[in-house]
Copies of this chain bind each other. A is one copy, B any other.
Amino acid sequence: MVPERLERAPAYNPCMSTVAPSLPPLTNDTFLRACLRLPTEHTPVWLMRQAGRYLPEYRATRDKAGSFMGLATNPEAACEVTLQPLERYALDAAILFSDILTVPDAMGLGLSFATGEGPRFAHPVRDEAAVAKLAVPDMDKLRYVFDAVSTIRRALSDAQGVGRVPLIGFSGSPWTLACYMVEGGGSDDYRLVKTMMYQRPDLMHRILAVNADSVALYLNTQIEAGAQAVMIFDSWGGVLADGAFQEFSLAYTRRVLAQLKKEHDGYRIPHIVFTKGGGLWLDEIADSGCDVVGLDWTVNLGQARARVGERVALQGNLDPNVLFAQPEQIRAEVIKTLDSFGIPGAHSGHVFNLGHGISQFTPPEHVTTLVDTVHEYSRRQRQG
C-alpha cells in the first residue's frame, strides 16, 4: 500500500494552503465547497438513490424505457431521471443515474435485472479460468454512461455554461464489484466470495487488481465527460473481517484513489468513499487519500468528526427509515444529525445525506421536509 500512497499528491488541506482550490462555475457550489472543507452558508444535502423508485415520475420514465437497464443505457432517459429529484427538492447536487455493476457487465459477465429481484450475472467468476479471462474493459462499452454524464451536464447548464448544481459520478468499489462477480448476484452470507478469498487469496487479489484499474479508468472517463465529483460505493466492505477489510477492500480502494484525477479543466474533483458498515475503520478510510468519507447511521457523527479532524469531510448519515415517520419527527431527527456534527465553524466539512439509499417506499413529500430542514437549520447554526 505504501507505494500507492507515495504516488499520490498529498490530500488538499484548506488550512495549510494559501490558495483556495478552483471550483467550476456553478449557481450553487455548496456541495463542492463542503467536500473540500471550505466555508458554506448552509449544509449541502443530496440523497443516495435520489433518482429512484419512490418517485412516481421515475417509475413513469422507467416504464417507458421498458426496464431498469433500458433506462440506464439510454443517455436521454438517464438524464431525465437524474434531473427529476432536482425539480421537486432543493438538492445541492445531482448524481448520475446508473448502476454500480456497469463495469463487470462491460467485462462480459452479462448483467440482468429480473423484476422484483436484484441484479444477476449470467457468467459469474468462480474459478481460475474465469479469473484469468478478466481484463480492464474497453471503455467504449460504457460509452452510454459517459454520454449520460455529458448530457446531464448540458441539461444542468444555463446559456452561459453555469451549472445549477454539481454532478457526481460514481462506481462500485473493487471489493463490492468482486462480491457480485463471484456470487453472481446479491448474497446474505457472501459464502462464495469469502470462500475464494480465504481459500484462493491469489485469485481474489487478481480480480481486485483488475477491478481497481477498471474502476479508476471508468471514473476518470466520467470526470473527462463532466463529472464534477466522484464517489466509490464500498457497499459490502462492512461484511469483511478486520484485517480482511484492509487487505481486500481498502487496499484496492486506495489503488483506485491513487490513479484518480484530482483536477480536470483546472477544477478540483473531490473523491468520496462510502463503506457501508465501515465505522470501525474510519481512521484508516480517512487516511486512504479521499476527500470525503461517507458514513452510515450506526456512526456517531460528532465522534467521527473529532476523530478525523481536518483530514477529510464527512457525508451522511440519517437512517433512511426516518423518512417513514411524520414530518415533525423527521425534522427532529435531521436536527439531531446536524447538532451531532456540531457548529460548522470556519470549515463546513459536512455533506448531509442518508446512511444508505432512500427506500422505494418513501413518501416523496417527506423528502421535502428533510431537505428544507437541513437548509433552514444549518443556516441558523451558522448564525449562532
- Say yes or no: is A319 at the interface (Cβ < 8 Å to chain B): yes
Could you tell me if B191 and A321 are in contact, using CB atoms closer than 8 angstroms? yes
Sorting the interface of chain A by its residue count into under 10, 10 to 19, 20 to 34 or 35 or more gives 35 or more
A199: which B residues are within 8 A, CB to CB?
A: 324-326, 329
A336: which B residues are within 8 A, CB to CB?
A: 243
| Bound-state Cα–Cα, A301 to B333, Å | 33
Task: Give chain A interface residues in 27-71, CB to chain B under 8 Å.
Answer: none
**A319 CB to nearest B CB, Å:** 4
Could you tell me if A245 and B298 are in contact, using CB atoms closer than 8 angstroms? yes
Task: Give chain A interface residues in 220-271, CB to chain B under 8 Å.
Answer: 238, 240-245
Could you tell me if B189 and A359 are in contact, using CB atoms closer than 8 angstroms? yes
Could you tell me if B242 and A298 are in contact, using CB atoms closer than 8 angstroms? yes
- Say yes or no: is A297 at the interface (Cβ < 8 Å to chain B): yes
A242: which B residues are within 8 A, CB to CB?
A: 297-301
Known contacts A277-B298, A298-B238: does B244 contact A324 (CB below 8 Å)? no
Contact of A329 (CB < 8 Å), options: B198, B319, B326, B329: B198
A299: which B residues are within 8 A, CB to CB?
A: 242, 280
- Say yes or no: is A113 at the interface (Cβ < 8 Å to chain B): no
**A192 CB to nearest B CB, Å:** 9
Could you tell me if B298 and A241 are in contact, using CB atoms closer than 8 angstroms? yes
- Say yes or no: is A126 at the interface (Cβ < 8 Å to chain B): no
- Say yes or no: is A377 at the interface (Cβ < 8 Å to chain B): no
Task: Give chain A interface residues in 107-152, CB to chain B under 8 Å.
Answer: none
Could you tell me if A359 and B198 are in contact, using CB atoms closer than 8 angstroms? no
Could you tell me if B321 and A198 are in contact, using CB atoms closer than 8 angstroms? yes
**A218 CB to nearest B CB, Å:** 28
Could you tell me if A321 and B279 are in contact, using CB atoms closer than 8 angstroms? no
**A335 CB to nearest B CB, Å:** 12
| Bound-state Cα–Cα, A244 to B336, Å | 12
Selected A-B contacts with CB under 8 Å, 26 pairs:
A189-B359, A190-B321, A191-B321, A191-B359, A191-B361, A194-B319, A198-B321, A198-B322, A198-B325, A198-B333, A199-B325, A199-B326, A238-B298, A240-B298, A240-B319, A241-B318, A241-B355, A242-B297, A243-B300, A243-B336, A245-B298, A277-B277, A279-B279, A280-B280, A280-B299, A280-B300
Given contact pairs A199-B329, A280-B299, a sample of 9 additional A-B residue pairs in the complex whose CB atoms are under 8 Å apart: A191-B324, A191-B361, A195-B321, A198-B321, A240-B297, A241-B297, A241-B319, A244-B319, A245-B298
